[in-house]
Structure 1
Amino acid sequence: MGKWFKYVLKLGLVFAIVAGALFYWLRPLLVKVESTTIADGIHVKFRVQGTNVEEYSNQAWKPYFAKGVNMGATVPGHFPGELAISEDDYERWFEMIQDMGSNVVRIYTIMMPEFYEALVKYNREHQKNPLFFIQGIWSPEEQLIEGQDAYDPQIKQKFEQEIKDAVAAVYGKTTLTPEPHSGKAGGAYKYNAGPYLMSWIVGTEWEPKMVKGTNDLHVDTADYEGKHFRNKPGASAFEKWLALMMDTAAQTEIQYGWQHPIAFANWVTTDPLEHPGEPLFEEDLVSVDPAHIEVADWAAGYFASYHVYPYYPDFFSFDSSFQTMANSKGQIDSYTTYLHKLKEAHPDIPVMITEYGVPASLGVAHLGMLGRNQGGHNEKQQGDIDADLFQEIHGAGYSGAILFTWQDEWFKKTWNTQRYDEADRRAYWYNTLTNESFFGVLGMFPSKDDDIHIDGDASDWKRLGDDKKRLDVQVPGFEEIWATHDEGYLYLMAKLSEPFDPSRQSIYLGADTIAGGNRHAPQLHGVTLDEGLETLIELSDENKGRMMIASNYDLHARLYERSGLPDIDPKENQDDSGIFKPWKLAVNYLLEYPDSRFNHPFGDVEVGELERGYTDPSRPDYSSKAMWQAQGQVLEMRIPWMLLGFSDPSSLSVINYNQTSRSKFEVTQVEGVRIVPWIVQDDKVLGREDSAAAEPYPVSRLPKYTWQRWEDKVDYVERPKQSYSIMKEAMQKIDGPVTDISGS
């Protein structure tokens, strides 16, 4: 009897251990979210009621305002198809996102299983206040643009399958094969994140020519009468196709016992409004109107989703018909005007702005009213603008405002820099001229962001140890010069013979990467070099410096010489022209009638102005755009790679002086970059007072700063930007939607 008792006791102990382990591992799957049920036991947590979204909480329906962030699918050193974010990253980010005041995260496509697992586990620990998510379903964008026909059987089948895969992934009921080259995630989806879903957004921003092409090809397409969604009379062929896709999402989800609100992605370009002051026909070519689709039988309901930025399309800047309303600060504001007009165009359903924001970057791609440009902002300016936009969206009676975006993404391209870099290398370096990469409130900074602070203090350089090089440069006014680099910048630290005084002297730092360039220039005051300079930095102002580019090397002039720039003096195209020009980026093309509605001049901005400041984020006077500082005899500087002509510093590739076409530059692999310093005082180059009669200065004898290729291995520093704290203050002030805007 005693042996049998011991056997039973051991067996019970084993069962207890196994049961405990099973409970531990299955806890994420057993978490419940408060919801209500409708016919057939279908769960509903969020629903549309009139023009509002509501959440079921504390056994009642309450008005809901989605305040959140969009989230990308990757980190520096990776492209989206690699989906390299870890579960630990997600859990850390979710906590930061909720702490910022967000109640929802929007994703654009099926993520790797780690996302859903991390969200379920995170919410298991935050059951009283879970973080919800909006699941986007990526449409076959490239095939749609290429084929110009949404009804193409292959496109239709592919999108329907993507919808089914997305629903199954959310509910943890599928295994998908990853397709890294196409950006499609894969793996075993075992965690049911469905209870934490806020809504679905079907598709991506619709290319207008594709929409019009679809409508023209299928004028006689029959109305779509789905089980859950249908189109209204007068809907276009493309809108009928969208009704079908939304119905596919609904029919698929209901099989898992849930209903969630559904929308399709949309943007200003295909909104239902007229934009009379927009010069580009394509930006007002066709509309995709959410009012032309309605619910047939879907208790969770239907809402409209729009991406709305304050600088694009161009009518935001100069269309007087959108400059009729004042914002909350009393300023005439095209963004506020647009928000109210868009809301009025949707009187029967809720509307969310699911993308808005500006980037913190040196580069600029579009100009907007009230200084809300696409780029050119430091982190504080970014946060102030984002907070203003957020408050305008909320005040206009919208049901949600989802900020673009959570994290910086190095791989992104921008229309006005994409011809200067190598597309397959973008993820491996930090190009602050490509503003599209830096919309995040969570910064992804190059690896020396913590190691070197531009502040005029050389002590951090001593801590670098061997990770720096002394440049053997014997130049009057400079006692020593050191250099190092990372994924974003070439860093220089010079010890001067005396403190820098811009009232009586100018410091110049020339850069030579390839054969050619300017060997003489006014800035050299009669000195001639034996090798030319591609770019030149001038420090002659108390608060800012300037990066200039040799006229025959000027990428901007070479690209746009026959596309809107004023006539260029033929001398500027000659080697050793002696002319250095401002470093510029285009912000809009030259548009001329009848190719556009009306004439619109070419626009560009200077991006080579180098701000004097401090890059230590712990300082109250920190500026993310600061590029140099001088204190006493110490001068520190960081130079963005593209300003030096690099198309990919990770492989030491620079743009050369040749072009295979008007729009394509040739690239050369180089050993490094040669820095040529000098100081001008009393209109003379120090140490070359007899410069007019002197022999050419032997630049070619100066050493080049070289580095090892870093190929596809990058390091980075993750840190919340100042904009994070600003948005935190703005978001935490708002709890719920504005339900009455009649007085606005």
Structure 2
Amino acid sequence: MTTLARKRLVILLVLGGILIAGGIYLIISSLPPSHTTYQASNGAKIKFQTSGDRFMEYKGEGKWQEIFVKGVNLGATVPGHFPGEFPITEEDYLRWFKQIDDMGANVIRIYTVHNPVFYTSLVKYNRDKGDDPLYFIQGIWSPEEQLIELKDAYNPGIKDTFHKEIEKAVKAVYGDLKIPVQPGASGGKYRANAGPYLMAWHIGTEWDPEMVDNTNTLYASSIPPYKGKHFSALEKASPFESWLAELIDQTAELEAGYGWQHPMTFTNWVTTDVLEHPGEPLFEEDLVSVDATHIEPVDWEAGYFAAYHVYPYYPDFFHLDKTLETIPDGNGGFNTYKAYLRKLKEHYKDMPVMVTEYGVPASLGVSHIGPGGRNQGGHSDAEKAEIDVSLTKDIYDEGYSGAILFMWQDEWFKKTWNTMRFEIPEDRRSYWLNVLTNEKLFGIVSMGPGKEDDIIIDGELSDWDALPEGEVKSWNNPAPGIERFRVTHDEAYVYVGLTLAEDFDPDTRPIYLGTHTQPGGNEPITELPGIKLSDGLENLVVIGRDEETEVRTAPNYDFHRRLYGRYGYWMLDEPTEEQKVQFQPWKLAVSLTMSPPDTRFSQPFKDMTVGSLVRGTSDRNDANFSSLTSWQYSGNEVELRIPWMLLGFADPSSLQVIDYGPLKKDRTFTTAEVDGITFVPWMKDRQSQEVYGPGSHGAVELAEQPKYTWSPWETVNYTENLKSGYYALKEYYESLPEHQPE
């Protein structure tokens, strides 16, 4: 060997040594720190276990302490994306982990396997936290759509899909998975061992009652109770409960291969609970039970617990069932939520129970009514905070082992039954924020629209001047008394700024803004007497006294009545002669007509006005802040933000509005693409009824009125702010003992 060759060999050996050492360092540095754990009889590590009806944490030196699990559910996406895209970054996760930890929560629940970045971020965050890390509960997503469609849990395809998802989840948690990235699913290289930070496994999703009932019927005589290595079904278990026992057992067996044991549970909800509800009108809401006590651990020292999603407004029996009216709420009504929790806990007196979803949304829209104002929607951030804390207190006071709030961040892609027919196309829901859809706004972190921090609704328009050039369109003197008219928009609202010739006085001269997007509509004959428009209006914004400021819809365009009236479900009475010509309040259904024999007893159709505009301030630093604020005035300036759907938009990102076409056979709407919104502004003297509007000789040509246009968008801007509920929960958590009293 030549001298040069020897030198090269030495260099290669040195470099190889450096690379090997570096690789060892990287492996070691990615491992979680030592963790105080209990050693099971088979040598497995245990950090949490169940004992009787208590959830326990191992504190070292043979000592276990009961804990109350305090946490939040964490979604898999951010605005502009659907969950299967998994867009959350390490920066997002680390920021959120710190905020959740600072709030006083001890656990995060995720519903499915996230991308590897979640697990590496959690390990990274916890690396220096010793024996006080932030834990997570790993959910395992079920093939929900297949289950609902086939109504047979034992279908081979369903079982195979579910078992593969379980294997994926266990391997992902322990950093032992490499799976191709595919659209709609998480994937990549999972190398971070997050097992030491796992608190429990949470298997499945909310079970469709008809699927459970049909599964039990199909296999009533052919499926014996499942007997597994770690978990078994009792003799009294239904076929569906045996199916669950097998899934839990498989999860346990796979985890045992990594030398760990964690408590197990499966997802359940009020619809398939173990109680009877004589006040529930819908048969399917009280059709079948799934009982966690029919499954037991046979060789799993970490234990097992029951988990329920419990909201105070759904199903309807929460406000209809008189048997729950046993605990006064202190305001002249009854706390049926607390009464329900008490009954449920009585059934599970020998095992821990956690409420792993609960809460109310801070949204303009409402979709279910709950006792004591605990509705699904219609709450400001402050009202949501108060209710969320009261629900957490109810759960704690009734002896539950944990409360995991739904949820951490707002989710734009979500849908709600009473607005989903108006959001078209449905695959663009994540591109805009419909504040009438309450499911989007459960978070204690606000994912607001792009201009939320730029335009503060406070009646002063100086912040409009700071917006980038081209983002605001302006018209001078569009009507007598209105010197300047400005419009802009973002993903949630159309913003309007008015500069008047004199100070605004709602008692003497209200303002009207007609909106026009397509041929059709009506003329506001009462609000705009003696003036003829060249075409009708779809909506009318009334700005006056607080109680009258709202968005009204043209009778010909009212798609609430079109859906629930004669040519739809026919749950609304025929309109009166006045309703046929007057602009109507903007409403949403909150309860459909229920009639025997389809239901147990009759319930009338109910709807609520949601077009009212709340005057206030959107400044989060102001003591009078309200997230529901829509408008304000100061001196001669008036500003407001109008939710897109109140102006008829089915998808503003692609300029789609609900059109005038008849409902299709499946009672769905069609849309039309428009090129903007034409505004018709005017003022009206209350005493003289004189109109100060555009046009001359009693005629208005809409083509000559201010028309606001914008371009379609495919990406979104959004803001992120902690809501009042974050700080309210932090305060409540701080009032609880670190560990439950012995």
TM-score, normalized by length of structure 1?
0.94
Partner of 2:596: 593
Do the aligned residues in 2 keep the contact of 1:226 with 1:247 (CA within 8 Å)? yes
Do the aligned residues in 2 keep the contact of 1:409 with 1:438 (CA within 8 Å)? yes
List per-residue Cα deviations over 1:492-513 (Å, max 9, x = no partner).
1110111111111211111111
Partner of 2:281: 279
Partner of 1:204: 205
The Cα shift of 1:126 comes to 1.9
List per-residue Cα deviations over 1:392-439 (Å, max 9, x = no partner).
100100000000000001000000000001211100001000100000
Is 1:335 the counterpart of 2:337? The answer is: yes
Q: Provide the rounded CA distance (Å) in 2 between the counterparts of 1:56 and 1:549.
A: 61
SS in 2 for 1:661: coil
Partner of 1:252: 254
Q: Please point out which of 72, 78, 87 is paired with 2:75.
A: 72
The Cα shift of 1:539 comes to 1.6
Partner of 1:297: 299
Is 1:190 the counterpart of 2:191? The answer is: yes
Do the aligned residues in 2 keep the contact of 1:539 with 1:545 (CA within 8 Å)? yes
Do the aligned residues in 2 keep the contact of 1:520 with 1:529 (CA within 8 Å)? no
The Cα shift of 1:737 comes to 6.5
Q: Provide the rounded CA distance (Å) in 2 between the counterparts of 1:215 and 1:645.
A: 45
Q: Structure 1 residues 62 and 688, CA, compared in 2 at 3 Å: closer, same or farther? A: closer
Do the aligned residues in 2 keep the contact of 1:564 with 1:589 (CA within 8 Å)? no
Is 1:613 the counterpart of 2:616? The answer is: yes
Q: Structure 1 residues 384 and 522, CA, compared in 2 at 3 Å: closer, same or farther? A: same
Q: Structure 1 residues 192 and 544, CA, compared in 2 at 3 Å: closer, same or farther? A: farther
Q: Provide the rounded CA distance (Å) in 2 between the counterparts of 1:355 and 1:215.
A: 26
List per-residue Cα deviations over 1:526-580 (Å, max 9, x = no partner).
322122110111122146611100011111100011436432237689xxx5310
Q: Provide the rounded CA distance (Å) in 1 between the counterparts of 2:76 and 2:395.
A: 26
Is 1:130 the counterpart of 2:133? The answer is: yes
SS in 2 for 1:265: strand
List per-residue Cα deviations over 1:118-138 (Å, max 9, x = no partner).
000000022242000000000
Partner of 2:3: none
Q: Provide the rounded CA distance (Å) in 1 between the counterparts of 2:59 and 2:562.
A: 61
Letter in 2 for 1:290: A
The Cα shift of 1:698 comes to 2.0
Partner of 1:578: 581
SS in 1 for 2:205: coil
Unpaired runs of 5+ residues, structure 1, are: none
Q: Provide the rounded CA distance (Å) in 2 between the counterparts of 1:485 and 1:363.
A: 20
List per-residue Cα deviations over 1:179-220 (Å, max 9, x = no partner).
32xx32111110000110000011000000000010000001
Letter in 2 for 1:362: L
Do the aligned residues in 1 keep the contact of 2:79 with 2:413 (CA within 8 Å)? yes
Do the aligned residues in 2 keep the contact of 1:477 with 1:686 (CA within 8 Å)? no
Q: Structure 1 residues 472 and 670, CA, compared in 2 at 3 Å: closer, same or farther? A: farther
Partner of 2:649: 646
Q: Provide the rounded CA distance (Å) in 1 between the counterparts of 2:130 and 2:655.
A: 51
Q: Please point out which of 673, 684, 701 is paired with 2:689.
A: 684
SS in 1 for 2:421: coil
Partner of 1:112: 115
List per-residue Cα deviations over 1:595-647 (Å, max 9, x = no partner).
10000111111100000010011111111100001000000110100000000
Q: Please point out which of 570, 575, 580 is paired with 1:569.
A: 575
Q: Provide the rounded CA distance (Å) in 1 between the counterparts of 2:48 and 2:570.
A: 51
For 1:624-703, list aligned pairs within 5 A. Answer: 624-661=627-664, 663-681=667-685, 682-687=687-692, 694-703=697-706
Do the aligned residues in 1 keep the contact of 2:230 with 2:297 (CA within 8 Å)? yes
Q: Please point out which of 421, 429, 434 is paired with 2:432.
A: 429
Letter in 2 for 1:596: T
Partner of 2:264: 262
Find runs of 4+ consecutive structure 1 residues off by over 6 angstroms: 7-14
The Cα shift of 1:703 comes to 3.2
The Cα shift of 1:474 comes to 2.4
For 1:386-401, list aligned pairs within 5 A. Answer: 386-401=388-403
Is 1:306 the counterpart of 2:308? The answer is: yes
The Cα shift of 1:269 comes to 0.3
Is 1:495 the counterpart of 2:499? The answer is: yes
Q: Structure 1 residues 251 and 14, CA, compared in 2 at 3 Å: closer, same or farther? A: closer
The Cα shift of 1:64 comes to 1.4
Q: Provide the rounded CA distance (Å) in 1 between the counterparts of 2:39 and 2:405.
A: 31
Do the aligned residues in 1 keep the contact of 2:32 with 2:123 (CA within 8 Å)? no
Letter in 2 for 1:457: E
For 1:209-608, list aligned pairs within 5 A. Answer: 209-220=210-221, 221-326=223-328, 332-422=334-424, 423-466=426-469, 467-471=471-475, 474-542=478-546, 545-562=549-566, 563=569, 565-569=571-575, 578-608=581-611
Q: Provide the rounded CA distance (Å) in 1 between the counterparts of 2:237 and 2:650.
A: 47
Letter in 2 for 1:674: T
Q: Provide the rounded CA distance (Å) in 2 between the counterparts of 1:688 and 1:114.
A: 58
Q: Provide the rounded CA distance (Å) in 1 between the counterparts of 2:269 and 2:436.
A: 25
Partner of 2:707: 704
SS in 2 for 1:312: coil
Task: Identify which range, 369-378 or 679-688, moves more after superposition.
Answer: 679-688
Q: Provide the rounded CA distance (Å) in 2 between the counterparts of 1:685 and 1:84.
A: 55
Do the aligned residues in 2 keep the contact of 1:552 with 1:572 (CA within 8 Å)? no
SS in 2 for 1:47: strand
SS in 2 for 1:136: strand
Q: Provide the rounded CA distance (Å) in 2 between the counterparts of 1:126 and 1:571.
A: 70
Partner of 1:36: 38
TM-score, normalized by length of structure 2?
0.95
Do the aligned residues in 2 keep the contact of 1:229 with 1:296 (CA within 8 Å)? yes
Letter in 2 for 1:164: E
Q: Provide the rounded CA distance (Å) in 2 between the counterparts of 1:20 and 1:474.
A: 71
Q: Structure 1 residues 43 and 495, CA, compared in 2 at 3 Å: closer, same or farther? A: same
The Cα shift of 1:724 comes to 1.2
Do the aligned residues in 2 keep the contact of 1:456 with 1:629 (CA within 8 Å)? yes
List per-residue Cα deviations over 1:261-286 (Å, max 9, x = no partner).
00010000000000000000000000
The Cα shift of 1:327 comes to 5.2
Q: Provide the rounded CA distance (Å) in 1 between the counterparts of 2:635 and 2:326.
A: 52
Partner of 2:182: 179
Q: Provide the rounded CA distance (Å) in 2 between the counterparts of 1:499 and 1:25.
A: 69
Is 1:139 the counterpart of 2:145? The answer is: no
List per-residue Cα deviations over 1:12-66 (Å, max 9, x = no partner).
8996797467435632314222111113321000000111010012432110111
Q: Provide the rounded CA distance (Å) in 1 between the counterparts of 2:739 and 2:394.
A: 12
Percent identity at matched positions?
50
Is 1:52 the counterpart of 2:54? The answer is: yes
Letter in 1 for 2:302: A
SS in 1 for 2:422: coil
Do the aligned residues in 2 keep the contact of 1:564 with 1:602 (CA within 8 Å)? no
Do the aligned residues in 2 keep the contact of 1:394 with 1:738 (CA within 8 Å)? no
The Cα shift of 1:139 comes to 0.6
Task: Identify which range, 729-738 or 439-448, moves more after superposition.
Answer: 729-738
The Cα shift of 1:87 comes to 1.0
Do the aligned residues in 2 keep the contact of 1:205 with 1:266 (CA within 8 Å)? yes
Q: Provide the rounded CA distance (Å) in 2 between the counterparts of 1:144 and 1:104.
A: 29
SS in 1 for 2:659: strand
Q: Provide the rounded CA distance (Å) in 1 between the counterparts of 2:70 and 2:416.
A: 27
Do the aligned residues in 2 keep the contact of 1:531 with 1:700 (CA within 8 Å)? no
Do the aligned residues in 2 keep the contact of 1:564 with 1:590 (CA within 8 Å)? no
Q: Structure 1 residues 709 and 138, CA, compared in 2 at 3 Å: closer, same or farther? A: same
Q: Provide the rounded CA distance (Å) in 2 between the counterparts of 1:427 and 1:572.
A: 38
Q: Provide the rounded CA distance (Å) in 1 between the counterparts of 2:692 and 2:452.
A: 36
SS in 2 for 1:266: strand
Q: Provide the rounded CA distance (Å) in 2 between the counterparts of 1:37 and 1:97.
A: 30
SS in 2 for 1:61: strand
Do the aligned residues in 2 keep the contact of 1:547 with 1:609 (CA within 8 Å)? yes
RMSD over aligned CA atoms reads 2.3
Do the aligned residues in 2 keep the contact of 1:63 with 1:736 (CA within 8 Å)? no
Unpaired runs of 5+ residues, structure 2, are: 1-5
